Amino acid sequence: MNQALMLPVLPELFALFISAAVVSFLLQRWARWTALGGAVLAALLALGLWQIDFSRPLLVLGGGFSIDFGAPVEIYDFTLQLDQSNVAVVVISLLIGAGALLLAARRHQSRLFPGLAWLLLTGYTLLALMTSGVRSPLFAAPLFLTMLAAVGIFALQNGKVTDPSGPLRTLLPPLLAAPLFIIAVWYIDQIPLNPQDVTLTVTAGTLLGVGLLLLLAPFPLHGATPAAAETAPPVAMLLVILLHQVAVLHLSAQVLNTYPFVALNTDWTLWLSWLGLLTAVWGGAATVGARNAGRLWGYVSLLDWGLIIVVLAVPSLRSWTLVLFLMCLRVISMFTAAAGLVTIEAAVGSLEMEKMRGIGMRMPWNSAAYLLGGLGLVGFPLTAGFAGHWAALLTLAEVDWRPAAVVLVASGLAVVAFVRVARLMFGHISNRTIPRERATSAALAIAALAITIGVAVAPQVLSTVIGKALSAFG
C-alpha cells in the first residue's frame, strides 16, 4: 500500500499555462491586475525551472507523492520532455512573457492581451519541449510557428482599425517554409536506405537550409518587423517578435546539430552571411527616412537581427556563444525601448515623431529609456548592445573586414537617426497638453535604464545565463 506516486511535471505545467490564459480571458475587465499576476507567475515559473537540477529530477513532496521533472509525455505522435537541452529556451520565453506582461500591467494594451500572451507562451513552450515523434518533430515546427503567428496577429492588431499589413506579413515566412521541411524530412528518411547517394544529402540540406532562411526572415522577408512596430502596441510587438526569434534560433540550433550536412554540404552559410548583411544594411539605411518612433525602433531591431544572422553563419561554438550574447542584449535593449515607447504612446496618442516634439521635457526618463534602448540595438557605447556588437564586429573582421565595415556604416546611419530624434524630443515643446510622467512609469523606466547601463558596464553578469543556455543551443 505504501506505493510512491510519481507525477510528471509537464501536464501540471501546461494545465497552469492554460488556466492562466482562461483566467486572464475571464477576468479581462481587470486586465491590469491579470497582467500583473501573470507577470509574477511567469517570473516565478522561470525561476523555478531555472533551479531544476536534471541530475536529480525527482522532487519528493511527502505523503507518497513526488514530482518527476524529466518524465516524458506523449501527445498524439509527439513526445514532450523537459530536459537540460530545452529548459533554457522555456525559461527565456517565460522571462520575455513576464516582462511583456509587466509592461502591459502598467499601461494595459488591450483587455485580451494577458490571455493572448499566455496562449503564445503555451505554444512556444510546447514547441521547445518537443523532443521526438513518429518522425523528427522538426518537420512540424514551421506549421506550429504558423499557428502561433496567427495567434500573435490578434495581439499585434489589438482590435484597432488600422493598416493590417504588418501583422499580416508575420504569417508568410513560416507557411512558406513548411513544405520545404516536409519534403526535406522525406529525403532524410531515404539517406540510410541509400547512404552512397550524395544527392539525397545535398537535396535535404538545401531544402532545410532554405526553410531555415525563410524562418529567420532576413531581407527581403523582413517587412513584418518595421510595419508591425509602426502600428502595433510596443508590448505586443516585443512579445510576438522576440518569442518567434528565440524559437527560430532554437530550431536552427537543433537542425544544425542533428543534420550537420545543412551547413557542410550546401552553401547555407554563404546565403546566411549575405542575407544577414543585407538585413543589417537595410535596417541601418532605412532609419534615416523613418518618421515614426515605432518604425525607427523596428528598423534598428532589424539591424541587430541582421548582425545575429551574420554571426550565425560563422560555424563554430564561439558563434553560438556570441549569438546568445547578442540575443540577451537584444532582449534587454528592446525591453528598455518598449518601456519608454509604451508611456510615450499613451501620452501622445501616437508614435509620429512630429507629435513627440519636446516630449523629453515632460517625460525625461521614458524618453531616455527609448533612446538608450534604441541605441543599444545599434551597439552604441555605454548601452547594453555595445559589448555584443563590438565582439561581433571583431569576430567578423577576423574573417573579412569588409562586412564589419559595412555593418559599422549602417550602425552609424542609425545613430544619426537617433541623434535627430533626441534633438526633437528634447527640443522646444509643441504640445503643452502632454502630461508629466507618473512616478510609477518613471520608476520602471529608471529600472530599465539601470539594467541597460549595468549590462553595458559589466556584461559578464550574463555569462551564467549564456553558459546554461548554451546547452540548449551548442
Partner 1 sequence: MEFLYGALGALFANWLGVLLLAAAAALIVITWNWRIALGLLMLLYLGVASLLVSIHQAPAWVVTGYLVAMGLAVAILALATKNHEPGPSQRQATNWLLRTLILGIVAAAWWFLDPGFAFPQFSRPETDLLLWIGICGLMLLALSNNPTYVGIGLLMWSAPIYAVATVLMPGSGVAQLVGIAALLVALACGYLALLEPVVVRTNPMWWRGRRTTVVHPITPTPLAPPAAVGAITATQLRSPAGERTPAHMEAAK
Of residues 179 and 381, the one with the C-beta less far from partner 1: 179
Question: Minimum distance from CB of 211 to partner 1 (Å)?
Answer: 12
Residue 434: CB minimum distance to partner 1, A: 22
Nearer to partner 1 among residue 43 and residue 172 (C-beta): 172
Give the integer Cα–Cα distance in Å for 280 and 201.
Answer: 31
Q: Which cell numbers in the block locate residue 378?
A: 545599434
Could you give the residue ranges of the DSSP H alpha helices within 287-400? 293-312, 317-348, 359-362, 364-378, 385-399
CA dihedral 77, 83, 85, 86 (to 10 degrees): 70
Candidates 106-114, 149-157, 303-311, 437-445: pick the segment binding partner 1 (CB under 8 A). Answer: 149-157
Per-residue binder mask for partner 1 (CB under 8 A), 181-210, x = binder: -xx-xxx-----------------------
* Interaction residues for partner 1, span 109-138 (CB under 8 A): 133-135
Query: Of 311-350, which residues contact partner 1 (CB under 8 A)?
Result: none
Asked whether position 361 contacts partner 1 by CB under 8 A, the answer is no
When the beta carbons of 16 and 183 are compared against partner 1, the nearer one is 183
Handedness of CA 320, 306, 204, 202 (dihedral sign): negative
**Percentages helix, strand, coil for the chain, rounded to the nearest 5?**
75, 5, 20
Tally DSSP H helices, then E strands, for the chain.
20, 6
Query: Of 40, 59, 73, 171, which one interacts with partner 1 (CB under 8 A)?
Result: 171
Answer yes or no: are the C-beta atoms of 157 and 232 closer than 8 Å: yes
Please identify, using beta-carbon distances, which residue of 220 and 467 lies nearer to partner 1: 220
Q: Could you tell me which residues are beta bridge partners of residue 5?
A: 65
Q: How far apart are CA 409 and CA 285, in angstroms?
A: 9
- The rounded distance, in Å, linking the Cα atoms of 410 and 415 is 9
Nearest distance from residue 232's CB to partner 1, in Å? Answer: 12
Pick the closer one to partner 1 by CB: 162 or 257.
162
* Span near partner 1 by CB under 8 A; candidates 58-66, 111-119, 174-182, 372-380: 174-182
**Using rule CB under 8 A, residue 151 touches partner 1:** yes
Give CA–CA dist 457/383, Å, rounded: 8
Report 44-83 residues binding partner 1 (CB under 8 A).
Answer: 76-78
Q: Are 417 and 296 in contact (CB under 8 A)?
A: yes
Position 17 contacts partner 1 (CB under 8 A): no
Report d(CA 209, CA 207) in Å as an integer: 5
Closest separation between CB of residue 172 and partner 1, Å?
A: 7
Q: How many CB atoms lie within 10 A of CB 35?
A: 27
Residue 111: all three cell numbers together: 483587455
Q: Tell which positions 382-411 bind partner 1, by CB under 8 A.
A: none
Give the residue with the Cβ less far from partner 1, 230 or 437: 230
Q: Which listed residue (19, 165, 350, 463) binds partner 1 by CB under 8 A?
A: 165
Taking the least distance from each CB to partner 1, the nearer of 42 and 180 is: 180
Q: Is 176 in the site for partner 1 (CB under 8 A)?
A: yes
Per-residue buried b or exposed e for 164-192, using 16+ beta carbons within 10 Å of the residue's own CB = eebbbbbbbbbebbbebbbbbbebbeeee
User: Residue 150 interacts with partner 1 (CB under 8 A)?
Assistant: yes
Q: Which is nearer to partner 1, 30 or 186 (CB)?
A: 186
Shortest gap between Cβ of 72 and partner 1 (angstroms)?
Answer: 17
424, 425, 426, 427 alpha-carbon torsion, rounded to 10°: 40
Cβ proximity to partner 1: between 136 and 367 the closer is 136
Binding interface with partner 1 (CB under 8 A):
76-78, 133-135, 139-140, 143-144, 146-147, 149-151, 153-154, 157, 159-165, 167-168, 171-172, 175-176, 178-179, 182-183, 185-187
